[in-house]
Chain A
Amino acid sequence: MLKTLRRIHRIGLVTEAAPCEDQAMRVREVLGRRILQIMGRALCVRMVDAGSCNGCELEINALSNPIYNIEGLGVRFVASPRHADLLLVTGPVSIHMRDALLRVFEATPDPKLVVAVGDCGCNGGIFGVGGASLGPVSNVIPVDAAVAGCPPTPTRLLAGILTALSPSEGR
């Protein structure tokens, strides 16, 4: 126990307050503020893998590490779509995941946002559309923001969530 406590004390807080990348700094600052403004509470996110290669999941998981500390920004990953405000969906959507994805979407209460993650979630990526792949997430459910990358970095994922929260034309 003593070793554990000593270690916690020695390493201290490693969360990046101001990452070197300009855009990253802006995203972190704005995202936290925006969530508080709109929601007045944590933004609840449900992640759905609709057929990805597991690359995007690695980076989505990294959001929870102490460096990005997404919970510190007021974003919480939840286990049920019924608790979610936003769906983070990776693709390409496989034929076998189509129904499951539709059910998750229907189970998420309105108003809800959907962020398509990764090149495959955005446009089908290297798997394309055809055969057992239905391609981009937008082929199955409406998408509010898309985060490109293979896989997208955690910073880009944060920026994608921010985009979905930002008011835009026609929404």
Chain B
Amino acid sequence: MNLKTWIGAAAPLAADPGIRRIVVGGEDWRRIAEDLAAAGGRLLALWGQDAGAGYPAVFAAYATAAGLLLAELPFEAPPGDASIYPGLQDLFPFASRMQRAVYDLYGLRSTDADTRPWLRHAPDGGYEFVRVEGDGVHEIPVGPVHAGIIEPGHFRFSVVGEKVLRLEERLGFTHKGIERRFLDFDVEQGCRLAARVCGDSAVAYSWAYCRALEDRVGVEIPRRANWLRALALELERIANHLGDLGALGNDAGFAFGLTQFSRLKEGLLRATEAAFGRRYLLDTIAPGGVCGDLPAAAGAALERELAYVAAETVALRDIYDEHAGLRDRFVGAGAVAPELAARLGLTGLAGRASGQAYDLRTDLRDAPYDELRAAKCGAETGDVAARVTLRFDEVAESCRLGRRILGDLPAGGVRTNVPPPAADSLGIGIIEGWRGPVLVALAAAAGGRIRRCHPHDPSWQNWPALEHAVIDNIVPDFPLINKSFNLAYSGHDL
């Protein structure tokens, strides 16, 4: 079957005809994946549930040229050997870890040969790393506690001299049972938890969560609220990019870059605080709109700040571009060529730096991006330099978008009432966060409770690609390469 047939066989999801859902058996589960992979479709997320959510099942969300497709594979038997389902790791390599996570959390086993625990570690903390044998090969274990101020995770390098032959990641250290925790909340409160799945992407997560909730109950979000949501999302993108640009300069021995960019970031955070009441927008987006309106004076100040950030970033880009030492470290380091990126399913910012020209803001043009017309940024070389370039481009574009929003902000209310969703209804929201597409699947139970909520971070796709990016690079370049991806631990570990 081709893409169109599958889409045609699927039923639109609730109030959002852009997302279609198809319930399948094991054979079709696999055939959909094959057909969609052949047609250039991308796997956005794969997750599971157990009988606690009504019935055991696995889900796969795909992005295709004809829209989003949600495949659902329900099981009649309780978890056990009977619930082995066909794995998708040969078609989408990054699916392997998601399938291992589904087993860890919900007891549903795929046919994937790799059955090592992923999110739920063995009680003795042990893990079987893949060993590299040969003359002069030795291992360097790093983490879970890292030297800098970053999240915990373990990296196992197999090296000869300084050259990295293999990197194997082991994550799950920040696993704190977020999916279970959602069940303690009602759909309204769940938004606050969604914002804290990954603190640096709070806006993307809370917006995706709200989309998953709002679309199905047919709520029209006030236009002004939608524009303010986009403003918050772009501010989050700029703040993170500024932080990364500084850190990347620092990791390459150019402390000046860190000083300059962290100064710009602090200025932006203060303007954000004046406009939204807090430096980081963890509780700004809420079901039905946004919490609190933007004071006009703070809006004008924020607009000036964005103009300043844009101009300063152009000047700093000039310095970065001309700095021979930086060029030497950035160019060619940690390269993921476009063909490899496509095969690995590299997504979001890192994907766009490797020729994977996908950006939900321009591809889906959901409101308000249908009016805002974001420009898609991209690069082809896939090295650290490309990811730096992309950040510079995106800072410029997001500053432009932010100023446009502030200049043309529609009048009206900023929040509307959201009625509780029908029991057993399922909603999906996806938002292009600064790192890539963030997906939230939310199933409601009776009385406005949460039956099941799965937040998906683009880092699931990109962590395995980092293992490829460092091959043949030297160990001292790893921090730089790692920072250029800047992937989430908490967002991934759930």
Contacts and interface: CB of A to CB of B under 8 A. Distances in A.
A127 B144 contact: no
A57 B176 contact: no
A11 B196 CA distance: 35
Given A55-B280, A94-B173, A126 B192 contact: yes
Interface stretch (A36-44, A97-105, A138-146, A162-170): A97-105
A80 to B, nearest CB: 8
Contact of A8 (B120, B149, B172, B256): B256
B200 A151 contact: no
Contacts of A96: 121, 144, 172-175
A62 interface: yes
A86 interface: no
Interface string B9-38: 000000000000000000000000000000
Nearest to B261: A65
Interface in A86-129: 92, 94-97, 99-100, 104, 125-128
Contact of B202 (A8, A55, A131): A55
Interface string B186-201: 0000001100111110
A78 to B, nearest CB: 9
Nearest to B283: A150
Contacts of A158: none
A7 interface: yes
Interface stretch (B218-226, B262-270, B332-340, B398-406): B262-270
Contacts of A8: 256
Interface stretch (B66-74, B177-185, B438-446): B177-185
Given A55-B282, A150-B282, 20 more contacts: A3-B319, A8-B256, A49-B149, A49-B174, A51-B174, A52-B174, A52-B199, A53-B196, A53-B199, A53-B490, A54-B491, A55-B200, A57-B150, A59-B279, A66-B259, A92-B176, A94-B174, A97-B144, A132-B175, A151-B280
Interface of A: 3-4, 7-8, 11, 14, 47-62, 64-68, 77, 79-80, 92, 94-97, 99-100, 104, 125-128, 130-133, 150-151, 153
Closest 8 CB pairs of A and B: A55-B199, A131-B177, A65-B262, A79-B147, A132-B177, A53-B199, A133-B176, A54-B199
